[in-house]
Each structure stands twice: as C-alpha cells, then as structure tokens.
Structure 1
Amino acid sequence: MSAPVRQSPASDRPDTAVRPNPARDTWNVLTRELRPTLRDPFTLIFSLVQPLVFLGLFAPLLVGQSGEPVGETLRWFVPGVLVMIVLFGTGATGSNLQYEMMTGSHERTLVAPISRASLLVGRALKEVVPIVVQAIIIVLIALPFGFAVNVPGLVVGLALLAVFGVGLGSLSYSLALKTKDREWLFWGVQQTLIFPLLILSGVLLPLDDGPAWMRAVATVNPVNWVVQAERALLSGDLSAPVVLWGWIAALLLAAVGLVVGVRAMRRSG
C-alpha cells in the first residue's frame, strides 16, 4: 500500500500574483493612451483649427492696431497661441475619461492589478506628446510670416508647456471623475473657467491698459505667468525673471493637479 501524498502548504507555493508597480503601471497606461493618437495622428492636426483661426484672423488685427512689423507682432502673439493650445487641448481631455466611465471601460481598468495613481499619472503624461507636436507645427507655420524664434528658448518653452499641460490635464481628469455621467456639468465648468483664464492672461490683448481689477486678477492667474515666460523664452531672454515665475506657476499647478487627480482616482469606482 503506497504512502499518502503529502500536500504542500500554501506557503511553499510560488507567488505568481501580479502586484501594482507604479513605474511599470504608469508606463503601461501612458502607452495605452498614446495608441489612439499614433493610429490616427490626424486628430492632432484637426485640434489645431481653433489656434490657427486665432493666428490667421486675430494676428492681422494686432498688426493693424500696433503699427509694428508683422514679425514683432507674431513674436508677441505666437507664444500666447502655444499656451492656448494647452488650455483648449488638455483642459478638455477629461471628456475622454468621462466617456470611458459612461461606457463602463473605466470600471474594468479599476479591477486590474495596477496602481490607481498610475491611472491618473499615465494619462496626464500622455498630454505631453500632443502639446509638443502641435506647438512645433504652429511655430513652423509662423516662420514664413516673419516670426523668429530662439531655438534653445523654444526647447525650454516646450518643457514648460509640457509641465503646465500635465497639471491642467490632471485637473481636467479630476473634474471628469467628480462629474462622472453628468457630461453637461463637465463642459459647463470647463467652459466657465477656460475663457476667463484665457482673457485674463493677456494672450489675445495686452492687459497693460486694462482696468486695475483685471491687472490684479492677472497677477494670480498662473496662465498669465506661463504666457509671459513663453514670450521671454521664445525671444531668447532665458534669464528673465518672468521665466522663473512661469516655472513656479507651472510646477505648482502640476503638483496641485496631480495630488487632486490621484486622490480622485483612488476614490473612484
């Protein structure tokens, strides 16, 4: 009679469970979010319609009012258009997450063995690619019309836009998580905030001759400091004080956005 087979205790079995790894999970979420953009790059071009309309129709009005050469006007206006791309692009990106929540796709990702924080951080980092590509396209379009750009300043300016976009995108995702299936509320809040931030940043018109209250609000508007920093950087004045203030504003926004977004993601589902 053979001896009974001894069962191995559970502690002796190999641990094959997949555990969350923040770095790996963030990379996986980032590549997942980039795939639709890489498959259909036309969406990047299509989203440039609004900035191109401002560049083509508003810039000539500025030239007529200022009386300065076209190149000088573009030197002032184009950096603002680059910031406008971030505002309109990353500010609305939360609608993609809201669509996933409405279709049930987001709930399926929540049960996967990945870090909840990575779901937010990976999405936010994905915004860097469209920002850089679209900004370069706008600069290339403006060059034949007399726009001159400092290349090192452009590189630093793109990095600044990327940090700013990560923060704004994170806040957009946070808004989507809070509003969930109420799409109307997401767009209502988004539109209510975006346009005042745009106007009170001096993107379209200088605020120097504006009312005192407008100039006061602009001093606490992070978009205003990013715009001023971009103008200095693209002109080659990398050591201007406004560059430092632009980086402070972008980094603070990114920190706040990531903290709020990660907390909202952890509470979702």
Structure 2
Amino acid sequence: MLLDTWLVFKRGFQLSLRTPVWVLVGLMQPLLYLFLFGPLLHGVTKAPGFPEGTSWQILTPAMLVLLGLFGSAFVGFGLISEWRGGVLDRMRVTPASRAALLLGRALVAAVQMMVQGALLVLVAVLVFGLRAPIGGVLLSLLIVGLLGVTMASFSYALALLIKVEEAFGPLMNTLVLPIMLLSGILIPVTTVLAPQWLYAISRVNPLSYVVEAERAAFLGDYGSRSLLVGILVLLAVGCSTVWWGIRMFQRESS
C-alpha cells in the first residue's frame, strides 16, 4: 500500500507543480485577514476573554487553521472531474490499494497546506513582526498538514457521494462556514465574550480545539492541555474522515 500511496501522491503533486499559482491563490484569503483584520485586534487583545499573546500570536495560528480548512475543503471538485472523465474507472481495474487512492491524494493537499502555511508565517514574521518559537511553528505546520488530510478526505468522500459540482460547492460552503465561525478563528469564542448557548455550541465544534492548540504552539506552551486536546481531537476526526473516504473509494470500485 505504501508504494501505491507514493505513486498516487507523486502523480498528484506533479500535476500541482504544473500550476504553481495554487500557492498564491490559497494564500490570498488568510493574507487579507492578516493585513485588514489583524490591525483591528491591537486594541482588544488585552480585553477579558482574549487568549494570551500579541495580536499576531493570536491571529496568525488561526489563519493557519483557516488555510487548512478552506484550502482542502474543495479538492473534491477535481475528483468529480476525474470521475466524469473516466479516470476513476481506469484506476478501478488496477491492483492499486483503494486506501492508497485516497491517502495519496490527501497527502498532496497536506503538503500544499504546509508549504502555504510556512509562507504565511514568513510573511507574518517579516511584515508584522510576529514572534514565535521555531519548535512551535514547526508543530503548528504539522497540525495544519493533519488538518489538510482530514478535510481533503472529507471532501473526497463527499464528492464521491454527490458527484455533481453544482451541489457539491454550495453544500461544502454550508458545512464549512459555520464550522469556521464557531471555531474562534476571528474572534475567540469564550465564556466572557460569547453567550452561554453560543459557547456551548462551539465546544461541539472540533475545529475550536484545533485553533486553541495552534495558539498554544505559537506561545511555546508545549505542555498545555489545549495543545494535547487539540491534537487528539484532530487525530480522532482525521481517522474518521479517512475511514469514510476509503469506504467511498472502495464502494466506487466495487
């Protein structure tokens, strides 16, 4: 299976290298938030309920999560095109592992998210004066890569379930937007800042714990409960989406 995964990954990564513009396109949204929203946080980071750290230590790790969320959520469009073009039918008759068909594609998304995340942190350091420990930044990029695998697997599974671009896009937006808003990416959802009912809903959102883990990593707080819980929650959700994605590929091949 490892060889099959590598071959699928190599094919997908080579295709992405042919259109390197994906690096800039994927960075546009988080960069705009840094430039246009970041300055607004300067005056409120000391308010009750806000996490520790400077405005850039609060916003930059959140933008990494935003990058991993939206950057991988719509990769299913490409799979629908492959399904319609008969690519999946040709792969179905090969002895390649069905798990590899998913994992190879998902790893491409993970590498893309990590490359874009590294560039985003570099901009934050050079332009905005972000200060974060190297170990924390590297750990946060690994978390983004895992989030990329999680969201890509979910996107591929949903794409194989729907197989219609006109329905896939709106449905994915409907799912991803409330997840983002309830995660505290822009404004932390805490008991001080949010109504109790909104805070309770946010605790059900797995991405809330991922955002908190990223912020803890940027502060170098490696022993914090937030970091451990965020990684464990993401691993659990990631295993679930990968399992669903593999089942959908297996069903498509039967």
Using the alignment, how far apart are the partners of 1:239 and 1:41 within structure 2? 38
Using the alignment, how far apart are the partners of 2:12 and 2:39 within structure 1? 38
Using the alignment, how far apart are the partners of 1:249 and 1:256 within structure 2? 11
Unaligned runs of 5+ in 2: 48-52
Decide which moves more: 103-112 or 247-256. 103-112
Aligned to 2:103: 121
Structure 2 counterpart of 1:240, from 192, 199, 224: 224
Structure 2 counterpart of 1:56, from 26, 30, 35: 35
Matched, 1:221 2:200: no
Aligned to 1:77: 59
Residue 196 of structure 1 aligns with an amino acid whose one-letter code is P
Residue 162 of structure 2 aligns with an amino acid whose one-letter code is T
Using the alignment, how far apart are the partners of 1:165 and 1:249 within structure 2? 14
Larger Rg: 1
The equivalences for 1:1-269 within 5 A come to 22-66=1-45, 72-144=54-126, 145-180=128-163, 182-208=164-190, 209-269=193-253
Is the contact made by 2:62 and 2:211 (CA closer than 8 Å) also made in structure 1? yes
Deviations 1:41-98 (A, max 9, x none): 2211222111111111111222244479xx8101100000000001111111111101
Deviations 1:170-228 (A, max 9, x none): 01100000011x11221122100111011101001121211212111111211110100
Residue 112 of structure 1 aligns with an amino acid whose one-letter code is T
Unaligned runs of 5+ in 1: 1-21
Residue 82 of structure 2 aligns with an amino acid whose one-letter code is E
* TM-score, structure 2 as length reference: 0.92
Is the contact made by 2:69 and 2:147 (CA closer than 8 Å) also made in structure 1? no
Using the alignment, how far apart are the partners of 2:18 and 2:186 within structure 1? 34
Q: How many residues align?
A: 245
For the residue of structure 2 that corresponds to 1:147, the secondary structure is coil
Residue 25 of structure 2 aligns with an amino acid whose one-letter code is F
Using the alignment, how far apart are the partners of 1:37 and 1:44 within structure 2? 10
